[in-house]
Amino acid sequence: MAEKKRRRFTSCCLLTLLFPLLAFGALVIFAVVMGKTALTVEEGTILEIEFAGALPEGPSGGLLPTFFVKGKSSLFTIRQALRQGATDPKIAGLLLDIEHFGSGMAAVEEILHEVARFRDSGKPVQAFLRGDLVGEREYLLATAADDVWLAPESALAVNGFNAEVTFWKGTLDKLGIVPQVFMFKDYKSAGEPYSRYEMSEPFRESLQALLGDFMNSLVATIAKRRGLDETVVRLQINRGLMSPSEALQARWIDDLGYRDQIEQRLMEEAGIPEIRTLSPTSYLSRSKSPVQNRIKIALIFAEGPIVSSANEMEINPMAPGARVIHGPALAKWIEEATIDPGIRAILLRINSPGGAVVGSDLVYRAVRRARARGKKVVVSMSDVAGSGGYWIAMNADKIVCHPSTITGSIGVVFTKFDISGLYKLIGANISTVLVGKNADILSFAAELQGEKRDRIVSWMEQVYESFKKKVAEGRNLSLEEVEKVAQGRIWSGQDALELKLVDALGGLSKAVELVKEEAAIPKTQEVDLVLFPKQMSFFERLARGDLSLAHAAASLEGRRSLPDLRELHKAAQPRIEILSPTLELH
């Protein structure tokens, strides 16, 4: 009887181990079969872009081919799909299905430009706002369409902008944690949430100016796209929420309805008998552009906080799915594009609040070396290119940003947390042995005072002066001019242009124009944007052995909901960074 139970237990264990492998094997076989079956775009297809969260800047190689999953679109894949779909006779129209948009105002401006270009082809564009409360970014996206539809029970919450910053000093006091934060200079506010109980006046001033620019852009865009007077638009925004009937009466929307009614409108305007939709990712995977012998421009995405080492990527407190810029890796990609004889110039797309100084400087040097070797480098800024994000951009031949890009923040912040009080609170005690007068200068169990503090501040001064000097050199400005726009202050893209921190306003398309100009490429010459590093397909990654289910499972199993003391110790380590302030825009 015991032997029979043992055999049954062994069989169950083997099945448990083998089932995932068998399932994955079947998946691979199915992928091979499907890969050999060419999926095509049918006549009368509607391109559908669903907005239900934040959009990454560039495509990311997922575990499964696009025919297994719907495939989350990126700003770049949306741009490519809209451009290709505008001239594709099989694409009959465009549907914007808008629930929530988690990216920033600059991303909205990028999409508005591309949808407007698609509309110029004469194909119908319909937008459906289906969230319970429709905010500023969602509504702005919809204004790109021929008709704006609102769900009958929804409401427009286009009532302006507010920035909310959470300050943790009171919480840290209760936990016995002492934040030691030094910021250069007055407007550098990335450390304020830990060192202050409320917002400083310089921080408030810079945010007020930034949101004022956002508001002016919002009013002007709505007025222009809806054919309304700016004064009236501003008054309606100041009223607050608008009910569906009020929005219809004010001509902010064209109709109230449901998805099937919008589809019926598209069928009528496009002259098609039924609705067949494809997402940008699925559409591009089914309609490969013919290979052409055109001039190639390297397109490199730099998205997320900047780190100097791979270890920092593991402890960085980022939300799931967020991206991180590994400075050495990004510098390597720029180097690869620089030495590639088939690449005429480099286009660097940045969406970063900054981060590690060393990681930022490695990228800065890679850009400098590329230019020294004759490769033109143009930077396109997205939602934010602040502090370290600006550091990696400032030496490019040309810099382009959107009017709403958050940029600048030329300054430095140092953070260190003394968590000895927390240890005492939980009954732990720290004993220290020093060999060296200031051996504990970076200790998480000692407060920075006197000479220790002076040494840190002296280091920060050097980094700040180096930052300003490199800005002056890259932007052809005097140190006095740089100091006026530095001091850690953030600027809108519109202000950045006037302050000579950037060269032009616009998105990726404008950046391509400047690349052509800098690289002596005729304006009418079509170019190919080649992604660096090379995007590997599912099968290429499989051949390389990059798809390890065991590794993925181990990583998930190893995650804890709360860090242990060793992880807390690691997170409390001192660091000098160049970061933009952290805030939430609503």
- DSSP of 327-342, one letter per residue? HHHHHHHHHHHHH-TT
Among 274, 233, 280, 248, CA closest to 148:
248
Q: Rounded to an integer, what is the distance from CA 16 to the centroid of its chain?
A: 40
- Determine if residue 91 is left, alpha or beta; phi over 0 gives left, psi from -120 to 50 gives alpha, anything else beta: beta
Enumerate the domain spans of the chain. Answer: 45-159+240-286, 295-545+570-585
pLDDT in tens, 522-570: 999 999 999 998 765 555 555 555 444 333 333 333 333 333 444 444 4
Whether the bond between 185 and the residue before it is cis, its omega within 30 degrees of 0, is yes
Whether the bond between 20 and the residue before it is cis, its omega within 30 degrees of 0, is no
pLDDT in tens, 5-59: 555 655 555 555 555 545 445 444 444 444 444 578 999 999 999 999 999 999 8
Rg from Cα positions in the chain:
27
What pTM was estimated for this model as a whole?
0.85
CB proximity list for 69: less than 8 A, separation 6 or greater: 62
Contact 180, 418 (CB under 8 A): yes
pLDDT for 575 equals: 53
DSSP bridge pairs for 474: none
Same fold, 45-159+240-286 and 295-545+570-585: yes
DSSP letter string, 242-302: B-HHHHHHTTS-SEE--HHHHHHHHHHHHT-SS-EEE-HHHHHHHSPPPP---EEEEEEEE
Dig out the tokens for 413 from the structure. Answer: 């912040």
pLDDT for 8 equals: 60
Contact 513, 523 (CB under 8 A): yes
pLDDT for 434 equals: 87
> For residues 545 and 506, what is the distance between their CA atoms, to the nearest angstrom?
41
Q: How many CB atoms lie within 10 A of CB 153?
A: 10
Q: Where are the alpha helices (DSSP H) in 37-122?
A: 75-87, 105-119
CB proximity list for 262: less than 8 A, separation 6 or greater: 95, 126, 128, 149
By CB atoms closer than 10 A (0-12, 13-18, 19+), residue 120 is exposed
pLDDT for 431 equals: 87
CATH domain 45-159+240-286 topology? 2-enoyl-CoA Hydratase; Chain A, domain 1 (3.90.226)
Q: How many residues does the chain have?
A: 586
Pairing, β 163-164 against β 584-585: antiparallel
What is the SS3 assignment for 21?
helix
Q: Which residues of the chain have pLDDT under 70?
A: 1-38, 60-71, 289-292, 310-322, 535-586
> For residues 512 and 345, what is the distance between their CA atoms, to the nearest angstrom?
10
Q: How many CB atoms lie within 10 A of CB 500?
A: 13
**CATH, domain range 295-545+570-585:** 3.90.226.10
CB proximity list for 354: less than 8 A, separation 6 or greater: 190, 305, 306, 360, 386, 387, 388, 389, 390, 391, 409, 577, 578, 579, 580
By CB atoms closer than 10 A (0-12, 13-18, 19+), residue 40 is exposed
Q: How far is CA 486 from CA 175, 188, 299, in A?
A: 35, 9, 29
Q: How many CB atoms lie within 10 A of CB 259?
A: 14
N-terminal to C-terminal alpha carbon distance within the chain: 67
> For residues 25 and 513, what is the distance between their CA atoms, to the nearest angstrom?
47
What's 503's DSSP letter?
S
pLDDT for 436 equals: 87
